[in-house]
A and B are shown apart, each in its own frame.
Chain A
Amino acid sequence: MNRLAIELPGLSLKNPIMPASGCFGFGKEYARLYDLSKLGAIMIKATTLETRLGNPTPRVAETSSGMLNAIGLQNPGLEKVISDELVWLEQFDTPIIANVAGTLTEDYVEVAKHISKSKNVHALELNISCPNVKCGGITFGTDPSIAAELTAAVKAVSTVPVYVKLSPNVTDVGEIARAVEAAGADGITMINTLIGMRLDTRTGKPVIANGTGGLSGPAVKPVALRMVYEVAKQVSIPIIGMGGIANVDDVIDFMSAGASAVAVGTANFVDPFVCPTIIDQLPEKLDWLGLNHVSELTGRSHR
Chain B
Amino acid sequence: MIQQERMRVISQKEIAKNIFEMTLSGQLVQEISSPGQFVHIRVSDSYEPLLRRPISIASINREAGQFTMIYRAEGRGTSLLSLKKTGDEVDVLGPLGNGFPLNEAKAGDTVVLVGGGIGVPPLYELSKRLVEIGAKPIHVLGFHSREVVFYEEKFRELGETHIVTVDGSLGQRGFVTTVLSELSKDFSMYFTCGPVQMLAAIQNMFPDKKGFLSFEERMGCGLGACFACVCKTTEQAEADYVKVCSDGPVFPAGVVQI
Interface residues of A (CB under 8 A from B): 22-25, 28-30, 32-33, 51, 53-54, 57-67, 69, 71, 74, 217-218, 246, 266, 268-273
Q: Is A29's CB under 8 angstroms from B225's CB?
A: yes
8 contacts between A and B (CB under 8 A): A23-B225, A29-B223, A33-B2, A51-B240, A57-B231, A60-B220, A269-B220, A270-B50
Indicate the member of A53, A54, A59 with the most B CB atoms within 10 Å: A59
Q: Is A57's CB under 8 angstroms from B223's CB?
A: no
Cα distance A59–B4 when bound, in Å?
Answer: 25
User: Known: A32-B2, A53-B241, A57-B217. Is A67-B51 also a contact (CB below 8 A)?
Assistant: yes
Taking chain A's interface residues, is the majority helix, strand, or loop, or is none over half, making it mixed? Answer: loop
Q: Is A269's CB under 8 angstroms from B48's CB?
A: no
Q: How far is the CB of A68 from chain B (nearest CB, A)?
A: 11
Given contacts A24-B225, A57-B218, A59-B228, 8 further A-B contacts (CB under 8 A): A23-B225, A23-B226, A32-B2, A57-B217, A60-B228, A62-B51, A69-B226, A273-B4
Indicate the member of B48, B52, B219, B227 with the most A CB atoms within 10 Å: B227
Of the candidates B1, B218, B225, the one whose C-beta lies within 8 Å of that of A58 is B218
Q: Is B128 an interface residue (CB 8 A)?
A: no
CB-nearest residue of chain A to B245 = A29
> Which residues of chain A are within 8 angstroms of B158 by Cβ–Cβ distance?
none
Contact digits for B19-48, partner A, Cβ 8 Å, 1 yes 0 no: 000000000000000000000001000011
Q: How far is the CB of A241 from chain B (nearest CB, A)?
A: 18
Q: Is B47's CB under 8 angstroms from A268's CB?
A: no
Q: Is A71's CB under 8 angstroms from B221's CB?
A: no
User: Known: A65-B47, A272-B4. Is A30-B223 also a contact (CB below 8 A)?
Assistant: yes
> Which residues of chain B are within 8 angstroms of A71 by Cβ–Cβ distance?
226-228
Cα distance A273–B1 when bound, in Å?
Answer: 14
Which B163-210 residues sit within 8 Å CB-CB of chain A? none
Cα distance A59–B229 when bound, in Å?
Answer: 8
Q: How far is the CB of A190 from chain B (nearest CB, A)?
A: 21
Q: Is B241's CB under 8 angstroms from A272's CB?
A: no
CB-nearest residue of chain B to A66 = B50
Cα distance A22–B228 when bound, in Å?
Answer: 11
Cα distance A57–B216 when bound, in Å?
Answer: 12
CB-nearest residue of chain B to A25 = B225
Q: Is B1's CB under 8 angstroms from A32's CB?
A: yes
Number of B residues with CB within 8 Å of any CB on chain A: 30
Contact digits for B105-117, partner A, Cβ 8 Å, 1 yes 0 no: 0000000000000
Contact digits for B212-239, partner A, Cβ 8 Å, 1 yes 0 no: 0000011111111111111110000000
Indicate the member of A60, A217, A271 with the most B CB atoms within 10 Å: A60
Q: Is B11 an interface residue (CB 8 A)?
A: no
Of the candidates B221, B230, B231, the one whose C-beta lies within 8 Å of that of A269 is B221
Interface residues of B (CB under 8 A from A): 1-2, 4, 42, 47-52, 93, 217-232, 240-241, 246
Cα distance A143–B217 when bound, in Å?
Answer: 37
The 3 A-B pairs with the shortest beta carbon distances in the complex, nearest first, are A25-B225, A269-B221, A29-B223
Cα distance A60–B222 when bound, in Å?
Answer: 13
Cα distance A54–B228 when bound, in Å?
Answer: 10
User: Known: A29-B246, A54-B227, A57-B229. Is A268-B221 also a contact (CB below 8 A)?
Assistant: yes
User: Known: A65-B47, A69-B228. Is A272-B223 also a contact (CB below 8 A)?
Assistant: yes
User: Known: A29-B223, A71-B228, A272-B93. Is A59-B50 also a contact (CB below 8 A)?
Assistant: no
> Which residues of chain A are within 8 angstroms of B241 by Cβ–Cβ distance?
53, 74
Q: How far is the CB of A106 from chain B (nearest CB, A)?
A: 25
Of the candidates A30, A33, A67, the one whose C-beta lies within 8 Å of that of B220 is A67
Cα distance A218–B224 when bound, in Å?
Answer: 22
Q: How far is the CB of B258 from chain A (nearest CB, A)?
A: 12
Indicate the member of B218, B224, B241 with the most A CB atoms within 10 Å: B218
Q: Is A269's CB under 8 angstroms from B218's CB?
A: no
> Which residues of chain A are within 8 angstroms of B221 by Cβ–Cβ distance?
29, 268-269, 272
Cα distance A256–B180 when bound, in Å?
Answer: 64
CB-nearest residue of chain B to A72 = B227
CB-nearest residue of chain B to A76 = B240
> Which residues of chain A are within 8 angstroms of B230 by Cβ–Cβ distance?
53-54, 57, 59, 74
Q: Is A268's CB under 8 angstroms from B225's CB?
A: yes
Q: How far is the CB of A157 from chain B (nearest CB, A)?
A: 28
Cα distance A270–B246 when bound, in Å?
Answer: 16
> Which residues of chain A are within 8 angstroms of B48 by Cβ–Cβ distance?
64-65
CB-nearest residue of chain A to B228 = A60
